[in-house]
Each structure stands twice: as C-alpha cells, then as structure tokens.
Amino acid sequence: MSSQVSWWVFGVMTVVLILNLEFSVVEGGASEETKIHIVYLGEREHNDPELVTASHLRMLESLLGSQKDANEFMVHSYRHGFSGFAAHLTDSQAKKISEHPDVVQVTPNSFYEPQTTRAFEYLGLSQSSPKGLLHDANMGEDVIIGILDSGVWPESPSFSDKGLGPIPKRWKGTCVDGEKFDSKKHCNKKLIGARYYMDSLFKNNRTDSGIPDTEYMSAREVFAHGSHVASTAAGAFVPDVSDNGLGVGTARGGAPKARIAMYKVCWQTQDGSCATADILKAMDDAIADGVDVISISLGSAIPISREIDISNVFSYGAFHAVSKGITVLMAGGNFGPHAYTVQNIAPWIITVAATSLDRWFPKPLTLGNNVTLLARTPSVDPELQAELIYVDSSKEMTSEAAGKIVLGFTTAENGESATDFLNKQMEVQAAGVILAGRRSDKMIVSEGLINLNIDYQQGTTILNYIKSTNKPTITVSPSIALTGPLVATKVAEFSGRGPNSVSPYVLKPDIAAPGVSIVAACTPEKMNYENGYTAMSGTSMAAPAVAGVVALLKAVHPDWSPAMLKSAIITTASSTDPYGEPIYSEGLSRKLADPFDFGGGLVNPDKAANPGLVYDADVQDYIRFLCASSYDEKSITKISKQTVKCPSPRPSMLDLNLPSITIPFLKEDVTLTRTVTNVGPVNSVYKLIVQPPMGVKISVTPQTLVFNSGVKKLSYQVTVSTTHKANSIYFFGSLTWTDGIHNVVIPLSIRTQMVKYFDQ
C-alpha cells in the first residue's frame, strides 16, 4: 500500500475516533493527565496482524515501563491497511514517543459530534450558534407544515411536543380518529393535525380498495416514509439515535419547533397507491386548515403532465395553495441522472434536488498484498478474513464459494443484478459478495450478509490482485465514519435532472439540499427498523429539508410571498459546498454540477434570511405565464377562477419574473425583463456582474440599481444574443446584483437552436 493511501486511511481513522476516556499516570512523582493520542507508523512491517499488534505493544511497553501498562493503556491497534495505534498518553509521553525513529506522527484524538440527520448542521443551522436563522426564527415555532405522505408513527420521539407553546389560534384543522390512532392520545402540540384519505381507492374498485390487512385505516403509517419526511422537516431533538448502529447522535428537523399536520394519501397497496383524487382533497383540506408550508415527496411517472392538466394534481393544487400565500415544496423525482427527468415542474412550486452530505461510512477492504480500498456500503458486521475468488456471473457461484468472498461485476451487458448475486450467495453460503458497478452514494446498511458495493476501478484493482496470486485473501473491516471536508458533496445520481420537459423556459430543479443517507424517524414495526430510525435516500428526503428552511424563513419574514421565499433561497444558494469545494454531479460520468442538476445551488439558510433583493410574482404573473404557454383561456379561467382574456399577441414566457433565465431556443436576439424588490437596507445601490454562458452575449440596462425610501422596486432589461453558428448544447452562466454585502445571483441557462427541436 502506498504511503499516500496509508496516510489518507490514517486521516480517516483520526476523524472517526470518538473516545473520551481519561486516565492519570505518575511520572517522576508528578501526576499528569492522559489523553488519547494516535501514533501513526506508516506501512506495516509484518503481514500477520497479530505480529503488527505485538510490535505496537512492545513500543508502548518501552515507553510505559511494563507490559501490563501497555495492555491497559492501548485503545486500538491499526494493523490491516497500515500500522499505528491509539493509546492513553500524557503530553510528555506523546512528545517522547514522537521522537522514536519508526513514528511518522503523533496526533491528539479529535472529537466530533456526529449529527445523525446532520443535514442541518452541514447547512449551517447549528443549535449551538447564538446567532443565525435557527435562533432568529426560534426554530420555526408556530409555523405549520403540512405533509402529504404515507402517514405518521405518532409515538416517535421526533413528534414530542415538549417545550412547545399552545397550538396557533389560526389552526383550523383536526385529528381524525381511526385504527390504532386516538386523536386525544396521539395528537399534541407538535403533531397538531392528522387526516387520512382512501375514498377514491374504494370508488375505483367499488368493493375492494386493494389495501392489505396490515395497513392501518387511519393516519398511522406502515411503511416508514411519512414519518421520515415529517421528522426531517420539523422533528424534535432526539438524542442517541442511529441507523443500525451507524452515525449515533442527535436527530432533528430543519424547523424543530414548527408544527406538523399529516395528510395520509398513500397506502401500502399492490400499486403503491397515492390516488390523485385523494391528493387533491388533502391539498384542499391543508389550505383550509391553515398550513403555512406544504411539503410533498411524491411524484408521477414520465412523461410529465402539463401544468394545468387535471391529471397533474400537484401543480393544480399547488396553484391554489400559492394563491393563498402557502409555499409548496416538492421532490424533483428519482429518475436521474438523465436529462429531462425532473418532476413537479410548475413555476409556482419549489422543486428540490438531492445532494450527498459531508459524511460517509466506508468499509475498509484490505487485500492480501496490503492494498486497502474503501467500499461504499456501510455495515455493522464484525471483521472478516476470507479467501477471495472472482466469477464472471452469479451462475458461476457453486459450492466451492462456500465460506469465501466473491467478486463480481454488474454491467448492462451481462444483465447481472445485485439480487442475482445475493440470492446465489445465500444458496451456496458464500461468506460475502463484493459487487463492482456504477458509483452510488445511497446508504443501504448491510446486515447478516456481507454484500458490498465498489466502483469499476476498485473492482479492477481487486481482480488484478486475484489474478496475481495463487491464494488471494481479503480482510473486511467494520465501517468507519468519515465526516468533514474530505467528503465531496455531489448531486445524487438518482436526483431528477433538467431541463424542464414541459416548460423549457422554466428552470428546474430550483434548489438542492441533502437527500442521501438521511437518518430520521420511521415505524419501528418495519423490518430492521427496530430503533424507530433509519437512513433513507431520495429527493423525498431533500424536499422536507428545504421545507424546514422555508418554515424558518416564514417565521422571520411572515409577510413574504411564496415567490419571495423561493427567490431568497435560489439567489443565495451556493455552487460550492460549505467548505468551499465544488459540488459535483454524480451520474453516467462525474462532472461539475450545473443549474440543471441543482437549480440555484445548495440551499444556504442563513444567507436566504437576508437576500437583499427578491424576485416576486403573484397569481396574475402566473396567469400571464399560462397565456404565454399557449394554454386556452377556458382552461386558465378554470384553474384561476377568474375570467381570463389573454392579450394578443400573447406575452413571452421569458418575462415571468423568475430568479433565473433559461432560453432553450436562442436564434435571434431576445430581450426580457426582470423586476427586483428591495428587502434589505432602504438606501441601497446595486452594481451588475455578469458571467455570460460560452458563446453568448448579455447586455443589461440599467447596470446600476438605486433604491431609497421612495423606490422599493426596480426593473431591468436583459438582451441576449448568440455567437454560435450551429445548434449548441446548453451553456451556463450567472447574473449578479451586488451592493458589496449581498450577492443576488440568478443562474443563466442558454442553448442556441438554429434548427429548432434538433439536438445534434
């Protein structure tokens, strides 16, 4: 193993030692407190791990003076991928052992507080900070979040109302009794509403809803999605939770003091039914009940319906909610990474993409040649040493694989799936399976069976090792926890991507938030979820994270419209992670993320609370957009309940006052208008900064915006032209207004189309 790899793995181990044991030793008659130190020795001198540990004990014995003390003060022996140990040492002992010629470095043990959900600490919403949005919003107290999902497990500690004040007087909703759901017992000052909807399931099948006996005929859930979503948005603080022992820490939602209203619209039927009629009824009830925010982690199959097609109940219902001042957030779908897969694309909805966190639970795999690789699948399995073999396909796994670890590859060509290998693993009683395939950051905790995911490069490294020796072996170590800047943030492979397939002039997704390996509440009756918490991945997890942020913003800016809230999170979002590193897009190949991956970028809650300028829009703006989209006046009248007469000629779709500019068919010069509202200091002057997309010219008038007590809104015009002579791909840029403190950034996504609808 190279020294680079060895040192990197040492860094990993340093990060994850979460130990707080203290001893006292006596040296020269003076008592000196000990602390855990990590002694890094570089490469192993012996292939036998027992010999490596013995050498560590000898070194420690020579320092402490006795074999007994060496055994007592030793904490860990690192003996597989590299050599080193952790021990209780005084500062003077640490200094002395650092002078040993075999020692590379001695490092004091670092202590990290793992946040199980971690998403909000990662985004800067720290409970320990005396300032910031979480503090200013009093954790979202009295903001009401409506969740449309599969129900709730009300006994979960995440839905405790400890420390909450009275239910807001404006709340008009209710808790509905049902099977194993007593409204007086299960609703409280946190879970203030619980309804369930199943009528249309019966009506579609007159006598049988298709709902199994295992379901609860109430707002209580069975399959763990709704509780997870609700607790991610607004769960209370719950200490000492984990996903099967990984990531032990405190779980909480984005707005821990916000109130939750659950609308159960999904049932565990054979079709996984979330009936559209029931969904629309639930949205209708939520509006009447008085929710402030609606979070929906549901979606439909591709192709996607148009904005005011009645089959698109989300868009339809959201239009009405937004017209009443309720912000609606929806998951961007899990059909990525291909283009045009983003869902829930209406411009009045906040559509959320999913990113990874700065946390990873890799599993070290040490080959017999001392090369260590880190598998992407975490598990709580103990260390295992076994012989290693390779098979071309699962069909080649015979009784000879019993007790061995099998390497296989999954590709489109061989048609092999993880299920094929795992079924065969159980049949032949193989000790484990290592599958090389496409990268994925989803966390599926392995239990009982060793089944690990690696990428093709790692798989090839292992295969080459197998071919190089007559008796290849491998040591599979327990998962370690890596948190911090060493872990790159990525837009998840599954996250739905733009462009918008229905309205290509509207950028989607709008924003991104953590949605990979999010630990939150679930039903403890679900298999393997005995502790009531589990990790899940999906845009379903990202949407409620942003819903929690919006609830906080609503608490500090109760007069802001849904469009203003949406603008604030988009224009202040970041294209880098919290450590200043680029955000990548995980997919068929890795690249830097662009607006079709994450919209404005990664949500930045504290900056969103003070955006400087916002791009506002109301129902009339959306009606003009529908006119521009060539919807007939009768349909627009139906959705708006206003008599609509579209102007002639119809307006441009480019003039909807979005915090983005997307031009899918640029040929001739186009001019569009945007209007900004000052929500910062009354007397402000903003200057223009433009980063044009490649081959595109951007001209803006005026280039300075001056606000004062009499001028709160200003408009500017943008003229866009292309230098491309042929059809191009989308190129990206940005347009920023800055007063030196606030940077109000909107993404630019522009494609030249000399021949319309023809992609070369």
Is residue 249 within 8 Å of residue 483, measured between CB atoms? no
**Among 288, 296, 378, 390, CA closest to 343:** 296
Angle, helix 539-556 to helix 225-234, in steps of 10 degrees: 30
Could you tell me which residues are beta bridge partners of residue 674? 716
On the question of a cis peptide bond just before residue 499, with omega within 30 degrees of 0, the verdict is yes
Identity of the residue numbered 484: G
Assess whether 182 carries a catalytic annotation: no
* Cβ count near 630 (within 10 Å): 9
Quick one: three-class SS letters along 337-403?
Answer: CCCCCCCCCCCCCEEEEEECCCEECCEEEEECCCCEEEECCCECCCCEEEEEEECCCHHHCCHHHEC
Which residue out of 540, 684, 728, 734 is catalytically annotated?
540
Query: For residue 214, what are the CA distances in angstroms to 179, 196, 220, 228?
Result: 11, 16, 11, 19
Residue 605 CB burial class (10 angstroms; 0-12, 13-18, ≥19): buried
DSSP assignment, residue 8?
H
Which residue out of 6, 55, 56, 149 is catalytically annotated?
149
Which residue out of 37, 186, 225, 228 is catalytically annotated?
225
Assess whether 278 carries a catalytic annotation: no
Please tell me whether residue 606 adopts helix, strand or coil conformation. Answer: helix
**DSSP H/E element including 238:** strand 238-243
C-alpha–C-alpha distance, residues 582 and 488, integer Å = 8
Q: Could you tell me whether strands 490-491 and 482-483 are parallel, antiparallel, or unpaired per DSSP bridges?
A: unpaired
Is residue 269 within 8 Å of residue 209, measured between CB atoms? yes
Q: Could you tell me whether strands 372-375 and 363-367 are parallel, antiparallel, or unpaired per DSSP bridges?
A: antiparallel
* Cβ count near 78 (within 10 Å): 24
DSSP assignment, residue 177?
-
Is residue 102 within 8 Å of residue 59, measured between CB atoms? yes
Assess whether 742 carries a catalytic annotation: no
What b/e readout covers 659-670, taking b as 16+ CB neighbours within 10 angstroms?
bbbbbbebeeeb
C-alpha–C-alpha distance, residues 284 and 103, integer Å = 68
- The beta-strand segments (E) located in 499-582 are 511-514, 518-521, 533-536
Residue 226 CB contacts under 8 Å (≥ 6 apart), including other chains: 147, 149, 150, 151, 152, 262, 264, 266
Q: Which residues participate in catalysis according to the annotation?
A: 149, 225, 540
